[in-house]
Structure 1
Amino acid sequence: MTLDFRKIRGVVMDVDGVLWRGDEPISGAAEFIAFLQSRGIPFALATNNSNKSPEDYQIKLEALKLGQLDVDQIVTSGRATASYMKQHYPAGTRIHVLGGDGLRLLMQRAGMILTDEPPCAAVVVGIDFSLNYEKVRKANALVRGGADFIGTNADATFPMPDGPAPGAGSILAMLATASGKKPVVIGKPNAAMYQAALDVIGTTADETLMVGDRIDTDIDGAQALGLKGALVLTGVSTRAEAEAAQRPPDIVINSLNELISQWQQA
């Protein structure tokens, strides 16, 4: 596991498990953002969390004193899914959203009309912190009735201070089991998320570093597209999992402070 920092011209980084856990900032997060800004290294955030809009993340970054970012620097799976919907469904298409207010807003901005009843062209599923049986039952009925089944991301869990919590992937798995249909998934590790981030920062894949806490999404997806992968051990994946991975990360670090230190020494 080696990485030549001298060849890195841009950075894409995950959020949950890298910059914060829940509403608690992770040590080194503010310092790493300041480090990139001080060196003029372009960077973007790429998060599979679809519950919040890019504007919500901009506010949270400032509230946690992690730094000020432009909205365009924040690529969420909800934002990528909204782009997908605009490309594949005409404005005025009736869809159902099982997810948070941020995802619903992004779908409306994409020209979709939200509905809880048929006719319904697609069911879009993200993380929903107020999930209940009735919501799942309604979404399942629409999918079984012929609506397309689309997921913002397939993360089974996401990091919280008290341990991994069920993520959007767990909701997708439940609906897939009940409906007998496989969802189209937009977020990491699919290429669309990384390409959207590369478009934001203006670098090529081979000169860009992906910093994430999950091998199965952050690192695997990035390396498959040609980015370098840095696994930070403040979230989900462990060093043992990195060493056992079929395609190991280019570098494994304990914290973002350690990443800064190694970069400065390069």
Structure 2
Amino acid sequence: VLTLPHIDLGELVAARDHRDDESSFWIDPRTGAIEFCSVDDSAEDFDERGLVPVEPIDTHESYEIMEDFVASVSSREAREKLGQAIRGRGAFGRFRDRMYDYPDLKEPWFAFRDRRMEQLALEWLAFAGLVAEEEVDAAIEALRRSAQPPLRAVLLDVDGVLTVSWTALPGAVEAFAALRASGVPLALVTSTTSRTRAAVGEALRAAGFDVADEEIVTAPVATAAYLAEHHPGARCLLLSSGDVTADLTGVMLVGPDAEQVDVVLVGGAGPELGYPALNRAFGHLLRGARLVAMHRSMFWRTDAGLALDAGAFVAALEAASGTTAEVVGKPAAGLFTAALARLGIEPAEAVMVGDDVDADVLAAQRAGLAGVLVRTGKFLPETLENADGEPDAVLDSVADLPAWLERRR
């Protein structure tokens, strides 16, 4: 059995990428040397010498590399166009042609393909019995880690990750303290719309977390900034459970009986979002008001189980009025952007940890962050199975995060 230092991995990758039916490459299982068998040579001679034929990469594997790269593209428009290009016969040619429209993706594509080709070459060495599986597995893990930038900051969802109904989940306080002790910059990113940032901070400290209010980025805070930029001076009708007006600095709120409404603003679900309130909002939307949602979560977990969230009401108002909501919080990028700006960190240097594979994890990945899913809170196995993408990691709980992060720093 060879060891990897005996083998020129780049040469092996090139040999497996060779596409000529009349010639081939062979590897010496004693030395790791790779030899070329031309059309004028006899393959039988190579076989008699005990050499092993190098198995070329097949079309299916090449297509999977291309397909996985397309799925990793953060730009939705580019991802959709490239996805269309690789459907059906002639996928490779159409992909190559479409890539000319996205020159910024050329370098990432070649880097992605090179890494996957190296991984496949390593896997083939183990499959062929030329290198021990343990050594190959370690090399593949090192390859994977080398492709990932070191993570310098952590964004944490609150509900379902650190707490449920404001009671700390097992191991969460200790994990948060370990992250704090490691010196990693932290931000708490929450779609909670029933409490102000100060109230969230107070509740977390009561639950045992050493957190400052300034480290918390809430949907109402991000919404106030969004309205100031996109709808300055708008008269806003607020539909939300709980009083978060303290976090809506600069927002002009009007009462339920107001006749002139420019924006219907949906916050958190609760008794306040009954039929009369929703029907009033529906009427304003029909008269031209804009629909702005602090988040789009469909449900959340309480100590009594899963409960309907405001995203369901947003979807109903959209369907009834023919209006498309402007979403500020998750799964839109607003909360992530606000948290990163506060930390002074680039997206590729941060990881978002959440219990919602779509609104937390995949949304963060689309914004350029790493995304880690925890099996607590609203996590459901079937939701993960049916998701449109894969988290960077799935952990049993936030208690496992410090050890995972240490491997990525």
Same-fold status (TM-score > 0.5) = yes
Counterpart of 1:50 in structure 2 is 193
| Paired residues of 1:51 and 1:78 also in contact (CA < 8 A) | no
Unaligned runs of 5+ in 2: 1-140
1:112 is aligned with what amino acid?
M
Q: Deviations over 1:100-122 (max 9, x none)?
A: 34433333x22413232111111
| Paired residues of 1:239 and 1:252 also in contact (CA < 8 A) | no
How far 1:264 sits from its partner (Å)? Answer: 4.9
How far 1:237 sits from its partner (Å)? Answer: 2.8
Match of 1:208 among 345, 350, 353: 350
Structure 1 counterpart SS, 2:265: strand
Counterpart of 1:246 in structure 2 is 388
Root mean square deviation of aligned Cα: 2.1
Q: TM-score, normalised by structure 2?
A: 0.60
Residue 106 of structure 1 pairs with residue 247 of structure 2: yes
- Alignment partners' CA distance in 1, 2:396 and 2:280: 43
Residue 239 and residue 78 in structure 1: after superposition, are their counterparts in 2 closer, same or farther (change >3 A)? same
1:35 is aligned with what amino acid?
A
- Alignment partners' CA distance in 1, 2:382 and 2:285: 39
Counterpart of 2:270 in structure 1 is 129
Structure 2 counterpart SS, 1:189: coil
Counterpart of 2:286 in structure 1 is 144
How far 1:46 sits from its partner (Å)? Answer: 0.9
Counterpart of 1:95 in structure 2 is 236
Counterpart of 2:310 in structure 1 is 168
1:224 is aligned with what amino acid?
R
Structure 2 counterpart SS, 1:55: helix
How far 1:165 sits from its partner (Å)? Answer: 0.6
Counterpart of 1:33 in structure 2 is 176
Structure 1 counterpart SS, 2:316: helix
Counterpart of 1:119 in structure 2 is 260
How far 1:223 sits from its partner (Å)? Answer: 0.7
Structure with the greater alpha carbon radius of gyration: 2
Counterpart of 2:34 in structure 1 is none
Counting matched residue pairs gives 262
Q: TM-score, normalised by structure 1?
A: 0.90
- Alignment partners' CA distance in 1, 2:407 and 2:398: 14
Unaligned runs of 5+ in 1: none
Counterpart of 2:114 in structure 1 is none
Q: Deviations over 1:125-149 (max 9, x none)?
A: 0113223222212222222222111
- Alignment partners' CA distance in 1, 2:297 and 2:154: 22
- Alignment partners' CA distance in 2, 1:104 and 1:135: 18
| Paired residues of 2:191 and 2:329 also in contact (CA < 8 A) | yes
2:313 is aligned with what amino acid?
I
How far 1:226 sits from its partner (Å)? Answer: 1.6
- Alignment partners' CA distance in 2, 1:262 and 1:94: 46
- Alignment partners' CA distance in 2, 1:181 and 1:88: 17
| Paired residues of 2:194 and 2:241 also in contact (CA < 8 A) | yes
